[in-house]
Chains A and B, each alone.
Chain A
């Protein structure tokens, strides 16, 4: 029971991060029908931005400001850096290709992902960096849940992710721009004819999706410690899996899919073996894609000829 609970908390933490990443994929796919391959790298840069803030403020063991302020600043910085990269990618790599064939932006995205990875390698070297969060917030602080103790950082991650997702859902449902995002993902041309500034909506989508990815990056750094230049690739793949499993283009679907993948990974690691972890997640996706290409909450797309 204790072990099961531990794995559930692990799954929830991982799932929250995947959900945040999957949201970015899903939203961008919704408005542009583009698979933003570089999303994982945006998340990686977010994690490095958090690390940068931590280092500038004295490092985990010799902070010059209170801990809560550092963590807030880390989140803010990662959101700023990630959304800047996301918006720049949209403007320079994807916008010129908006009217070309489907394959062109995808290849451009692969190139962008590659470029960003190499840039990170150049800027931060190949050594992985550590947030050393247990020094920031001692590992025994937090909530006691029956037999186990849930670390404060995990609670912070889960609650932050939940709050962000609720805010996003409300924004998409109620706010004017949120509604515009929905309109554009439903039918871009019709939305443009209704007076919606499609370019602006796309920029906003990238901005929000990338900011969420940056937050996810800092979260992973806090919980799992290691930040390195290749972290974006596999995380990006898994987040994409989450987005597809949930139904790509659907915002609640991305959250659901993220949690599902998180739990699948945690239980596989806990009960079977960590070597199988990636295989099972990828296998899950392949099976899922074949059986239900539109995901849990996605609707089949009708092709008009």
Chain B
């Protein structure tokens, strides 16, 4: 019990803050001891060196990463700082991209120069964001989320189906419908054309650097603090005379403007825009980046974007994907079981189970069920351990996939030794499905992964990798 006059909650506030502990403590301590400016300089130097050491396709991936980082930073303003759940964010990105594509390609005879196009587009997108913030005066939480989601859907429908506005522009094709727009001109500034991947990479890097500096300052400013007050308790903030509606509008507008800017660069790099670039899948990708990194934290969001944009690229190459998968599997096993004794038992059991299943399968059905084994990590380490299936592959892996999910749920629900018992067959099934199916379909695997990341992250560490744990006051 606390003394009279000392509030217990205030007194214990130190305990609630996260201390450095666990295996990653030294890294986190080092990171926190650096001043934000130095962090940014180190990041920019490392990023600037990146195109020098990788191939052109590597630079292309780098552009994807930087674009995602930029978008994630913009979304972070709306969701992380102001606490407004905006599921229509991808529409602003699409709007910027389409606007840029329309005014610089052959859709219109206009061909605006970049220095006119960019300010106009950014301002228009900001205006659109401000417009979309109007419903947030009345709607909160889930209602606002679903409303913005409808906005994104309507954007997609319009872009796909109304390339010719009925009655307005019967013979003027604006959006190109499902085929999108091609032949978009790259950015041109001061007679300098951003036509190559390298130039676009550095352009993005410079913009990202400026954006980070600006956001860092905004975060510490009156507006930034007011946004956080809004997020924590809108009602209380309003009573403290915070102009709630204006701040919501500002958050939406700034977030939208950043998305619009990113959209123009995207259109310029891709030399075209297509309706499928701006679907819900991409929105979830941005959300995954923001949430994985840590809602509200600038370095966190950038880190999240790097991880989220890079992972699918690694999945694309089967051998690295394999390494990633097995490392992840072992890490998960360790995290689930914690004690080395249990981990060792699980791994030994896994090896035995593999040989036993293979022996049993061959004894019952004979050699005919076997397919040709690929040269994968597991076949090199444990030759003849895995059942590589032939024709019946589709059916068996489907069942194995469902069973693996059931098994994973069992692992979560079970404790101690029961957990080991659940884990062994689950691991086996997971490897079976991976080698026979998942590794061959990277795009589906990516979707599964994102969905899984969002769920696991929310359950385990809702504040993300670098986020600050929020204290709920009830």
B interface size (C-beta, 8 A): 50
Select the stretch in A99-107, A136-144, A193-201, A254-262 that faces chain B: A99-107
Asked whether A119 is an interface residue with its Cβ less than 8 Å from the other chain, the reply is yes
* Contact in complex: B454, A289 (CB < 8 Å): no
* Contact in complex: B150, A233 (CB < 8 Å): no
* Contact in complex: A122, B401 (CB < 8 Å): yes
User: What sequence of 0s and 1s flags, for each residue 97-120 of chain A, a beta carbon within 8 Å of any chain B beta carbon?
Assistant: 101111111111011111111110
**Residues from chain B with Cβ under 8 Å of A92 in the complex:** 409, 412-413
Asked whether A282 is an interface residue with its Cβ less than 8 Å from the other chain, the reply is yes
Asked whether B451 is an interface residue with its Cβ less than 8 Å from the other chain, the reply is yes
Q: Which residue on chain B has the smallest CB distance to residue A240?
A: B146
CB contacts under 8 Å to A, within B138-169, are 138-139, 141-143, 145-147, 149-151, 153-154, 157-158, 161
Select the stretch in B187-195, B302-310, B441-449 that faces chain A: B441-449
User: What sequence of 0s and 1s flags, for each residue 416-450 of chain B, a beta carbon within 8 Å of any chain A beta carbon?
Assistant: 00000000000000000000011001001101101
5 tightest A-B CB contacts, nearest first = A111-B454, A115-B451, A114-B451, A118-B447, A108-B458
Q: Which residue on chain A has the smallest CB distance to residue B84?
A: A103
Nearest chain A CB to B394 CB, angstrom units: 9
Nearest chain B CB to A172 CB, angstrom units: 23
Q: In the complex, given contacts A114-B454, A119-B405, A282-B153, what are 16 additional A-B residue pairs having Cβ atoms less than 8 angstroms apart?
A: A35-B145, A35-B146, A91-B409, A100-B462, A106-B142, A107-B454, A111-B452, A111-B455, A113-B451, A117-B451, A122-B401, A237-B153, A279-B154, A285-B150, A293-B143, A303-B235
Nearest chain B CB to A135 CB, angstrom units: 25
Nearest chain B CB to A58 CB, angstrom units: 17
CB contacts under 8 Å to B, within A5-59, are 35
Asked whether A61 is an interface residue with its Cβ less than 8 Å from the other chain, the reply is no
Query: In whole angstroms, what is the CA distance A131 to B200 when docked?
Result: 50
Nearest chain B CB to A45 CB, angstrom units: 11
Q: Can you list 9 A-B pairs, Cβ within 8 angstroms, ordered by A?
A: A97-B462, A107-B287, A111-B284, A112-B451, A118-B447, A237-B153, A282-B150, A285-B147, A290-B139
Choose from A122, A237, A303 the contact partner of B444 (Cβ within 8 Å): A122
* Contact in complex: A237, B149 (CB < 8 Å): yes
User: What sequence of 0s and 1s flags, for each residue 260-300 of chain A, a beta carbon within 8 Å of any chain B beta carbon?
Assistant: 00000000000000010011001101100110010000000
* Contact in complex: A106, B145 (CB < 8 Å): yes
**Residues from chain A with Cβ under 8 Å of B79 in the complex:** 103
Asked whether B57 is an interface residue with its Cβ less than 8 Å from the other chain, the reply is no
Q: Which residue on chain A has the smallest CB distance to residue B441?
A: A122
**Residues from chain B with Cβ under 8 Å of A93 in the complex:** 455, 458-459
* Contact in complex: A121, B447 (CB < 8 Å): yes
Asked whether B21 is an interface residue with its Cβ less than 8 Å from the other chain, the reply is no
Query: In whole angstroms, what is the CA distance A116 to B147 when docked?
Result: 23
Residues of B within 8 A of A (CB): 79, 83, 85, 135, 138-139, 141-143, 145-147, 149-151, 153-154, 157-158, 161, 235, 280, 284, 287, 291, 398, 401-402, 405, 409, 412-413, 437-438, 441, 444-445, 447-448, 450-455, 458-459, 462, 470, 472
Query: In whole angstroms, what is the CA distance A285 to B139 when docked?
Result: 13
**Residues from chain A with Cβ under 8 Å of B453 in the complex:** 111
* Contact in complex: B448, A108 (CB < 8 Å): no
A-B contact count (CB 8 A): 128
* Contact in complex: B157, A104 (CB < 8 Å): no
* Contact in complex: A88, B409 (CB < 8 Å): yes
Query: In whole angstroms, what is the CA distance A118 to B447 when docked?
Result: 6
Given A108-B459, A119-B405, A275:B161 Cβ within 8 A: yes
* Contact in complex: A106, B85 (CB < 8 Å): yes
**Residues from chain B with Cβ under 8 Å of A279 in the complex:** 154, 157-158
Asked whether A123 is an interface residue with its Cβ less than 8 Å from the other chain, the reply is yes
**Residues from chain B with Cβ under 8 Å of A111 in the complex:** 284, 450-455, 458
Query: In whole angstroms, what is the CA distance A286 to B155 when docked?
Result: 14
Asked whether A305 is an interface residue with its Cβ less than 8 Å from the other chain, the reply is yes
* Contact in complex: A123, B280 (CB < 8 Å): no
* Contact in complex: A233, B441 (CB < 8 Å): no
* Contact in complex: B142, A282 (CB < 8 Å): no
Nearest chain A CB to B8 CB, angstrom units: 20
User: What sequence of 0s and 1s flags, for each residue 72-111 of chain A, a beta carbon within 8 Å of any chain B beta carbon?
Assistant: 0000000000000000100111001101111111111011
Asked whether A157 is an interface residue with its Cβ less than 8 Å from the other chain, the reply is no
Choose from B150, B154, B409, B448 the contact partner of A115 (Cβ within 8 Å): B448
**Residues from chain A with Cβ under 8 Å of B83 in the complex:** 103
Choose from B158, B280, B441, B459 the contact partner of A96 (Cβ within 8 Å): B459
User: What sequence of 0s and 1s flags, for each residue 230-254 of chain A, a beta carbon within 8 Å of any chain B beta carbon?
Assistant: 0001000100100010000000000
Query: In whole angstroms, what is the CA distance A285 to B150 when docked?
Result: 9
Q: Which residue on chain A has the smallest CB distance to residue B160?
A: A275
Choose from B235, B437, B455 the contact partner of A305 (Cβ within 8 Å): B235
Q: Which residue on chain B has the smallest CB distance to residue A95?
A: B459
* Contact in complex: B401, A119 (CB < 8 Å): yes
Query: In whole angstroms, what is the CA distance A181 to B19 when docked?
Result: 42
Interface centre among B143, B146, B452, B470 (most CB of A within 10 A): B146
Interface centre among A92, A111, A113, A293 (most CB of B within 10 A): A111
Given A104-B462, A293-B138, A118:B444 Cβ within 8 A: yes
* Contact in complex: A237, B150 (CB < 8 Å): yes
Given A102-B141, A115-B448, A115-B452, A97:B458 Cβ within 8 A: yes
Given A282-B153, A289-B147, A110:B462 Cβ within 8 A: no
Given A122-B441, A282-B154, A305-B235, A290:B138 Cβ within 8 A: yes
**Residues from chain B with Cβ under 8 Å of A283 in the complex:** 154
Query: In whole angstroms, what is the CA distance A279 to B141 when docked?
Result: 23
Q: Which residue on chain A has the smallest CB distance to residue B233?
A: A305
**Residues from chain B with Cβ under 8 Å of A303 in the complex:** 235
**Residues from chain B with Cβ under 8 Å of A112 in the complex:** 451, 455
Nearest chain A CB to B396 CB, angstrom units: 12
Q: Which residue on chain A has the smallest CB distance to residue B137?
A: A290
Q: Which residue on chain A has the smallest CB distance to residue B138?
A: A293
Query: In whole angstroms, what is the CA distance A101 to B141 when docked?
Result: 11
Nearest chain A CB to B138 CB, angstrom units: 6
Query: In whole angstroms, what is the CA distance A119 to B404 when docked?
Result: 12
* Contact in complex: B287, A110 (CB < 8 Å): yes
* Contact in complex: B437, A278 (CB < 8 Å): no
* Contact in complex: A117, B447 (CB < 8 Å): yes
Given A233-B280, A237-B149, A118:B451 Cβ within 8 A: yes
Query: In whole angstroms, what is the CA distance A107 to B467 when docked?
Result: 16
Q: Which residue on chain A has the smallest CB distance to residue B290?
A: A107
Nearest chain A CB to B149 CB, angstrom units: 7
Query: In whole angstroms, what is the CA distance A102 to B231 when docked?
Result: 11
Given A110-B287, A111-B450, A123-B398, A289:B458 Cβ within 8 A: no
